[in-house]
Structure 1
């Protein structure tokens, strides 16, 4: 059990760690002392805009900065963790690189892979990068990397504009952002600060679009804005009805080409119940007649569909109901959404629920189908991901949640088995997706870089070597080039 302890000084905190180490001042304890020394050095070097927190000394502000939506994501023992809150100064990275100190960078805390945004070393939280500045003359907005998308939508709503971002509540800006970016403010591993645009630095601009934290720490994104009025949509929840949802989804994908329309169809298992879910969206106050009738006719236990603000739509999502549980994401890349594939996904949900329900406490299963238009990749420029832009990738989101850490390995292994099986079924159904690029924001830990970045990987490794020759960013978690 975590206990709140107040310390009068750093030395008393270190003494506490020495006493509580299993065998006295062990190598682990000496590592803690070294980490504290690094944080003291950072604390002396940074401006008043930054702060260094010690979890038991500065509790609770320090611990609130450690929070992740999934309890499987953190890799720390609470009284060993240090939190450094950045300003735009690059001195922190210089010190971390010089002392070879492990660290992590946390934006919104939505990543589920263990250690991707957490560490037993120095935790950098971006929470003070919380500004949203709209520029009406250029129709762009500067967004701090410590925000979640809810904050961004709320800030832009009074201006009647919006940006391309997360579709459900609680998703962090920093880890999510791939496309629509006009510029990045980047703290490079050598401590310098650069504004990266397509014209000022084409290589880094390319690499940052899907390349995550391999090249430094992004403190601000500049995004293109678009006019935004009322939207129509919400969520339908049904007890089962998997067949009806599958049929309606296949028909929508085959027949609806309106770029303002979108759906996400989800096959869930939760608390012993098969729960079908469909999120409907139309970028206007009402959709054309008949477009969503097949979904609206599905017998539902809950139907929250209306004309509303975009922010209201995002806040209405039920995606945060498993917040606080352990959980992982995984993915299958599709090129087509067919009736047979939807049946396979429905069967997969039912099968694994029957296999795991009595063995895994707190089990929640979710398989999400995300139809996109074939033209989706025509709106951006070359980027780290996807490695090919000649064909739209439809990333299926597989999400499992559970209660206990004892289930972690079993759940990870099961998800790999399930995603591999669904990929095989897609190939048998005529889709050549054996080597289709996997979406890195969904990919489960351990996924080979080549399965995500394909032929782009050598170029990304060369850019990484150029801007981070000492591999400072290799001290942090995440996908590493």
Structure 2
């Protein structure tokens, strides 16, 4: 009986995840179905194959059966039809910045959107159409000569596709909202292969679902955003040593509580230096060549250990944020949301850094524990007049925390996950003591650790998203890919 049970399980699994031979046949079928503009690559040392599977952290890299770089929506349609017919596991990758394993990687068919790289500005409509495979760094560089921007990623290497489908905190969020708030249309290849343009008018339910609903409803090949004027900006990275952390915490909490200029923004992080002492990295941004007196004075007067603050282009400012990791670095993000960063919360986050830094180093000498705080203007969630899949809560401002743990040893992946979950649990207790019942707040999909679950991401919007998913994808083709599944 036991042997027959094992055989039954094996057969059930094989119907969902084809064997290696079947996967190779799927790759061959895709190669025959797509046009000459697109290409399939096998694991035979090809540079394209390696690049298509590459991710920012090594723990998100999987060896796919093959990779495919579609160049047209028609080819994406052909690919998704074959995937749906054969029930083949797959992934869709834009920039590869996701740290959750399997969210944009697979052992099946890896779809790399690299060839969807157009950036087209329409002055008459005031919009810019951007291919889903573009990187935000390159988007900014291409739009700067035109004096406009579609605000997206704030650090190098972030892909347009995943970032936008996950919500999109950006440097102009105080003025224009989240990146999902400025999308006016999507070119979408539905799970059945149909190619449609989704707008608020043409398909209000699907438009709602794509605004933060991740990869549950098909494959987006192009986003059209509102464009906004931009000239030189001011800012960059300034760092402080251990002796200045208390002074910084007070300045940060005051800025978070009293910021009066929506053109100003901060992303600030704690980490430990080589000696084990805490340091602060503070990225300041102002939408203009020089901030008015008083906006950032409290930070500028703190003694720093390094600074590259100045007037520059947006692409230069984005490039100033350190993101390069040594080869082989593994890592996860985790996230929390707070109503506000008080001095007590900022101090508690600093304490988490100094506590977990030595702990993770005991398990892997290369391991680092970092925490990044982001604060926004009081009205930044009010710019959208229509509902969005994410966030489900907009009645009051809330702000994200990003945890970033990195290490090299794959044997400690599960241990590091547990440490990040423990840290979040402790900070939740601290927040409640601070008068912040944060359990009701949405978790940001692009920072969320996979163990958080879709309920914490989509909250009260989850039933509506499930209903839309059932209509758009009754065969659950998109369930063959990883992600925040509804």
State the distance in 2 between where 1:255 and 1:224 align. 29
Aligned residue for 1:46?
A: 34
Q: Does 1:356 align with 2:340?
A: no
Give the Å deviation of 1:129: 0.4
Q: Does 1:248 align with 2:232?
A: no
Give the Å deviation of 1:247: 1.0
Aligned residue for 1:468?
A: 473
Taking the TM superposition and a 5 Å limit, the aligned residue runs for 1:65-464 are 65-74=52-61, 76=62, 78=63, 81-86=65-70, 87-89=72-74, 90-177=77-164, 178=167, 179=180, 180-240=182-242, 241-271=244-274, 272-321=276-325, 324-380=328-384, 381-464=386-469
Higher share of residues assigned helix: 2
Is contact 1:270-1:364 (8 Å) kept? no
State the distance in 2 between where 1:476 and 1:144 align. 20
State the distance in 2 between where 1:273 and 1:30 align. 50
Structure 1 stretches (4+) deviating beyond 3 angstroms?
270-273, 321-324
Is contact 2:91-2:482 (8 Å) kept? yes
SS at match of 2:59: coil
- TM-score, normalised on structure 2? 0.90
Is contact 2:393-2:441 (8 Å) kept? no
**How big is the alpha-carbon RMSD for the aligned residues of Structure 1 and Structure 2?**
1.6
Q: Which runs of no fewer than 5 residues in structure 1 stay unpaired? A: 1-26
Q: Which runs of no fewer than 5 residues in structure 2 stay unpaired? A: 1-13, 168-179
Q: Check 1:61–1:262 CA distance in 2 against 1; reply closer, same or farther (3 A cut).
A: same
State the distance in 2 between where 1:305 and 1:62 align. 39
Is contact 1:242-1:267 (8 Å) kept? no
Give the Å deviation of 1:30: 7.5
Alpha-carbon displacement from aligned partner over 1:350-385 (angstroms, at most 9, x marks no partner): 111132223223112211111111211111131001
SS at match of 2:419: helix
Is contact 1:185-1:194 (8 Å) kept? yes
SS at match of 1:288: coil
Instruction: Point out the more displaced range, 153-162 or 322-331.
Output: 322-331
Aligned residue for 2:176?
A: none
Is contact 2:18-2:88 (8 Å) kept? no
Alpha-carbon displacement from aligned partner over 1:284-342 (angstroms, at most 9, x marks no partner): 00001122121112222210100011111001111334675111000111001111111
Instruction: Point out the more displaced range, 216-225 or 256-265.
Output: 256-265
State the distance in 2 between where 1:208 and 1:49 align. 27
State the distance in 2 between where 1:292 and 1:323 align. 36
Alpha-carbon displacement from aligned partner over 1:194-245 (angstroms, at most 9, x marks no partner): 0001111000110001111100000000011000001000011122222122
State the distance in 2 between where 1:377 and 1:101 align. 39
State the distance in 1 between where 2:225 and 2:370 align. 31
Say how many residue pairs are matched.
451
Q: Check 1:434–1:246 CA distance in 2 against 1; reply closer, same or farther (3 A cut).
A: same
Aligned residue for 1:3?
A: none
SS at match of 2:114: coil
State the distance in 2 between where 1:244 and 1:323 align. 35
Instruction: Point out the more displaced range, 221-230 or 234-243.
Output: 234-243
Is contact 1:209-1:383 (8 Å) kept? yes
State the distance in 1 between where 2:330 and 2:18 align. 30
SS at match of 2:469: helix
Is contact 1:427-1:434 (8 Å) kept? no
